[in-house]
Structures are given as C-alpha cells and as structure tokens.
C-alpha cells in the first residue's frame, strides 16, 4: 500500500499520465521538547513538559509541548498546565526558551534549503520541499528505483538534522502537500513514509476522518451524524452535493482531500516582509482563556524572531481556525513601527475578542507581525516613544 524506508514494489510509479510530483513534508518531532532534550540528554527517559509553572496544580498557563514519555500519561500541547499536573505530577516542568527555539529553527531551515531551492517553511518546525524538478529522481523509472532515491534523500535530511542539532524529524512523501502531511503525522517520531500516487486513495481510506487537517470534533460529529462518516474512505463516498448542503464552500475541499486530490504548490518566493507562527490544538479548544494563553506564547516566539532579526513591525495580525473548518484572519495597523512585545500582545487580545463570543471551538491559532522595517539607528522613533 505504501513504502516505509527503502522497501517498495516494482511498477509504474505514476498511474496517471501527468507530471509526477515529489513533495516532502518535514516536521520536527515535538520541537520545543526536542530542543530542550538536545540541551539535557539525561532527560530522555523521564516525562517533561514545556510550559507555564504548574504551581502544584494551581497554575493558569498551558502546555506548549511535551516529550513522548509525557504523552503516555495523556498530556498534550494546548492542555491547561493544571490538568497536566493532575495527569503527571512527577514530570519535569520546563519554562520555555523561545529565543533558543527560534535559533534552532533557523539552522534547521537552512539545512533543508541545502537540499532544494523549492522550499516553503510553514511554521517554526515544519516545511515542504519539492523535488519534482530533481533529475536524479525524475529520470528514474519504476517505483523501486524512485522509492530508493527518495528514501536516500530523506535519510540524508534526517541524518544531517540529527547530527547538527541532535533532534529528530519525521518525513512524509507523496505527490501532494496534504497527503504528505497526513503521512508524516502517522509515522512520528523519527519516521519516514512514502505514499505512491496510485495508492493514495487506498492509503487514506481506513484513516479516521479527523486525520484530515482542519477536521475537528464539531465537523467530525456532523459527518458522523449526517452521513455515518467515520473514516476518510467513508467521506469519499458521500456525494458532493450532500456535503455542500452541510459545509458550503468547504465541501469541495473535503471531497477532494478524501480522494487524494490536492495540487497546492510549494511556495518558493517568500520575502522577509513578515514573521508568523501558529499552533494547532490536539483537541479543539472551547475555553478562550486557554486560547489566549497559547496565542500569547505564539506571539512571544514570533516577536523574538522578529526582533532578533533586527526588525520593527507596524502590523499585528492573528489567524484563527474555528470548527467546522472556518479560517479567519484579522489585523490591526499601528500608528508607528515598534518592537514592543507588550503592544503586540495587547493588539492580539483585541483581535481575538471578536471570536470569543462565537461559541465555536478553536482548532488553530496563529500570530503574524508584518510591515517590517529594519531598525536602522538607535534614535529611530517607535510607537512607544510617540505615545
């Protein structure tokens, strides 16, 4: 059905008469926790949690990340830190070091850029790489040869990141961005999986429908109650017109993804006019106080990257994904450029207020600082000076 590592079957790699694409999704494993573990290897076997001070179960912050031993206790990112304490009071609780995470991220992304110019960073610890123009792969015939070539490249990427940064990553490979991402999530940690084009529908069919990015608890419930959909294969069988009655314009996206149809391009012409970051809740979050806390953590990380690169910002924006799969962006322009974290956090809070009364759970929250200007001189006026 699919290839793990270098194993493969002979045959025509591309079942359709169209240009074959080779899209890698590279995702660092539990990134913040991995960065901490790289600094403290002795923590490997013990559960540890990156986030706010639990204050013996009375803390009001959230879990930013945790290692895999902690996940065995039911701890996950976005969880209230007080709940994490209840589940695993014996864990080591670590205050986040955002500046370090940003520096590691920069170095990892530079490693990835060494393998192909067709590169798109999508978060602090994720990126897509497109090898569709790589003649050393494209020129090969047959699934086995191409599978081995793709495995060789992916192994080189994983080895280089491990050797340089002492962290692991997982890689999914297919002919589309979304299938590669789904594949990556199935093979964590330190995994590698290649999904052949003519096996995509078969690969997706048995997976729970919530494996599709953006399908949260509300959407999952609607699909189950309306169409008895439990798996991606079930979703593929629902007529598009019936999905449209429930989900409107999102229906076509659901329908296509279930059939493995997705042609989104790897965007390579990114310019440093903004800095952004986002996080996806493992479980849809209905408590907007927790959403706000996570948003502020994301904002702090984005702010540190922006300032460390020597920029002021003049626009603050948020991205929020509500269930069922409603994505919204909002932004505010400032009267003058600034490098103030306090201002960034206040603006983010104002933008989030619009959604807090919606009654809808949150799947994803992101922050973007844009309209960047280089901080040229020490006497350059900023918003705090003008106010």
CATH number at residue 372: 3.30.1490.100
Give a yes or no: residue 43 inside a domain.
Answer: no
The chain-wide mean pLDDT, for the chain, equals: 86
pLDDT tier, 137 (very low <50, low <70, confident <90, very high otherwise): confident
User: Which tokens sit at 286?
Assistant: 């209905």
What DSSP assignment string belongs to 124-159? TTEEEEE-TT-HHHHT--SHHHHHHHHHHHHHHHHH
pLDDT band at 18 (very low <50, low <70, confident <90, very high): low
What's the pLDDT score for residue 376?
Answer: 64
In a domain, 237, yes or no: yes
Note the pLDDT of residue 90. Answer: 95
pLDDT tens figures, 51-89: 888 999 988 778 989 998 999 999 998 888 999 999 999
Q: Are 289 and 375 in the same domain?
A: yes
The answer to whether residue 12 is domain-embedded is: no
Write down the pLDDT at residue 262: 84
CATH number of the domain to which 239 belongs = 1.10.150.20
pLDDT value at position 34?
95
Give the rounded percent of residues in the chain with a pLDDT score beyond 90.
54
Q: What token pair was written down for 12? A: 């025509």
Pair (199, 214) in one structural domain: no
Are 155 and 215 found together in one domain? no
252-271 mean pLDDT: 81
Kindly state the greatest CA–CA separation across the chain: 68
pLDDT of residue 62: 83
Does residue 367 lie within any of the structural domains?
yes
Last residue of a domain, one of 176, 203, 230: 203
Residue 144 belongs to domain spanning: 23-30+99-203
In-domain check, residue 128: yes
Whether 317 is in a domain gets the answer yes
Sign of the C-alpha dihedral computed for residues 337, 338, 343 and 344 taken in this order: positive
Residue 374's SS3 state is strand
143-165 vs 98-113: helix crossing angle, rounded to 10: 140
Active site residues: 126
The reply to whether 284 and 379 lie within a common domain is yes
Number of domains forming the structure of the chain: 3
Torsions phi, psi for 307 (to 5 deg):
-70, -40
CA distance 353 to 344: 15
């Amino acid at each position: 059905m699919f290839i793990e590592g270098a194993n493969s079957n002979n045959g025509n790699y591309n079942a359709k008469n169209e240009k074959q694409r080779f899209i890698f999704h590279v995702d660092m494993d539990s990134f913040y926790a991995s960065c901490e573990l790289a600094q403290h290897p002795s923590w490997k076997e013990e559960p540890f949690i990156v986030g706010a001070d639990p204050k013996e179960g009375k803390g009001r912050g959230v879990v930013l990340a945790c290692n895999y031993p902690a996940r065995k206790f039911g701890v996950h990112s976005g969880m209230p830190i007080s709940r994490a304490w209840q589940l695993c009071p014996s864990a080591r609780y670590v205050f986040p070091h955002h500046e370090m995470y940003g520096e590691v991220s920069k170095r990892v992304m530079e490693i990835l850029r060494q393998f192909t110019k067709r590169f798109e960073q999508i978060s602090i610890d994720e990126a897509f790489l497109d090898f569709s123009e790589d003649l050393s792969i494209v020129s090969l015939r047959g699934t086995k040869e191409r599978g081995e070539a793709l495995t060789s490249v992916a192994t080189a990427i994983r080895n280089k990141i491990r050797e340089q940064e002492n962290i692991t990553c997982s890689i999914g490979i297919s002919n589309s961005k979304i299938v590669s991402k789904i594949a990556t999530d199935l093979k964590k940690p330190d995994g590698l999986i290649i999904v052949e084009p003519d096996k995509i529908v078969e690969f997706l069919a048995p997976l729970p429908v919530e494996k599709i990015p953006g399908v949260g608890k509300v959407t999952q419930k609607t699909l189950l109650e309306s169409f008895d959909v439990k798996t991606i294969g079930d979703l593929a069988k629902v007529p598009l017109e019936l999905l449209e009655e429930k989900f409107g314009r999102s229906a076509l996206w659901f329908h296509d993804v279930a059939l493995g149809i997705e042609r989104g391009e790897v965007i390579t012409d990114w310019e440093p006019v903004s800095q952004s970051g986002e996080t996806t809740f493992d479980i849809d979050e209905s408590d907007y106080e927790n959403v706000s806390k996570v948003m502020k953590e994301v904002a702090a990380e984005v702010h540190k990257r922006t300032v460390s690169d020597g920029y002021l910002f003049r626009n603050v924006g948020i991205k929020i994904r509500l269930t069922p799969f409603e994505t919204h962006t909002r932004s505010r322009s400032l009267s003058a450029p600034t490098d103030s974290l306090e201002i960034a956090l206040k603006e983010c809070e104002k933008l989030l207020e619009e959604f807090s009364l919606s009654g809808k759970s949150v799947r994803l929250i992101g922050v973007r600082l844009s309209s960047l200007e280089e901080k040229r001189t020490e006497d350059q006026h900023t918003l705090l000076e003008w106010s």
